[in-house]
């Protein structure tokens, strides 16, 4: 059986280790060992662990930002309603937060490492604020197309939808049921429908 290219093995190994032991504890040495390559080979593909983390987010987690970019480029186009678009955004966002929380949570236990990580994210032009900006931009494009009310605070609306998705990933494991009260699809449809009652024309 042909071995995967080194870069693919590195991203796979990083994803698995970040999920199981967290971003803070997943060292480049451990990632390289799990990928079956040297640490020097890892650094040929990724100058820093933060850039490897960004690759994991982009290539192994649900693709929320590309969805938002596509919708921003085509507001009011096609047969899909704003509510249908928001439902798909909510679905992808809930999946993204569900899978990214275990990876990033360990950073909060190490403030210095978290600050270094945030500094690199700023240099790379990315971070957890980007989906809010993307959804805000999408809602503003729908405002311009006349499908979202002109008096709506689009940033607040984006924060409400994505905040609900993040809360779904974070809050429900401690309940008696051990998980969210709704299926993912039901949750996404309900959140989108509720938001549309406040923003729709």
What tens digit of pLDDT does each residue of 52-62 get?
A: 988 888 888 77
117-172: pLDDT as tens digits: 788 778 878 888 889 999 999 999 999 989 999 999 999 999 999 999 999 988 76
Per-residue pLDDT at 1 exceeds 60: no
Cα 177 off chain centre by:
25
State the average pLDDT for the chain.
87
- The burial of 29, by beta-carbon neighbours within 10 Å (0-12 exposed, 13-18 middle, 19 or more buried), is given as exposed
């Amino acid at each position: 059986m042909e071995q995967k290219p080194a870069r693919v093995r590195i991203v796979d190994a990083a994803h698995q280790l970040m999920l199981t032991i967290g971003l803070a504890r997943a060292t480049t040495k451990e990632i390289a060992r799990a990928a079956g390559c040297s640490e020097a080979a890892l650094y040929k593909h990724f100058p820093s662990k933060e850039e490897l983390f960004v690759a994991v987010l982009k290539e192994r987690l649900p693709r929320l930002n590309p969805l938002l970019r596509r919708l921003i480029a085509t507001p009011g186009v096609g047969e899909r309603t704003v509510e249908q678009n928001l439902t798909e955004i909510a679905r992808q966002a809930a999946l993204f937060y569900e899978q990214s929380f275990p990876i990033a949570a360990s950073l909060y236990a190490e403030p210095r490492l978290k600050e270094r990580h945030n500094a690199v994210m700023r240099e790379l032009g990315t971070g957890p604020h980007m989906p809010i900006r993307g959804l805000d931009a999408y809602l503003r494009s729908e405002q311009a197309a006349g499908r979202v009310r002109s008096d709506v605070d689009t940033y607040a609306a984006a924060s409400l939808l994505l905040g609900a998705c993040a809360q779904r990933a974070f809050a429900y494991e401690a309940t008696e049921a051990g998980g969210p009260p709704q299926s993912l699809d039901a949750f996404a449809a309900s959140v989108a429908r509720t938001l549309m009652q406040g923003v729709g024309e």
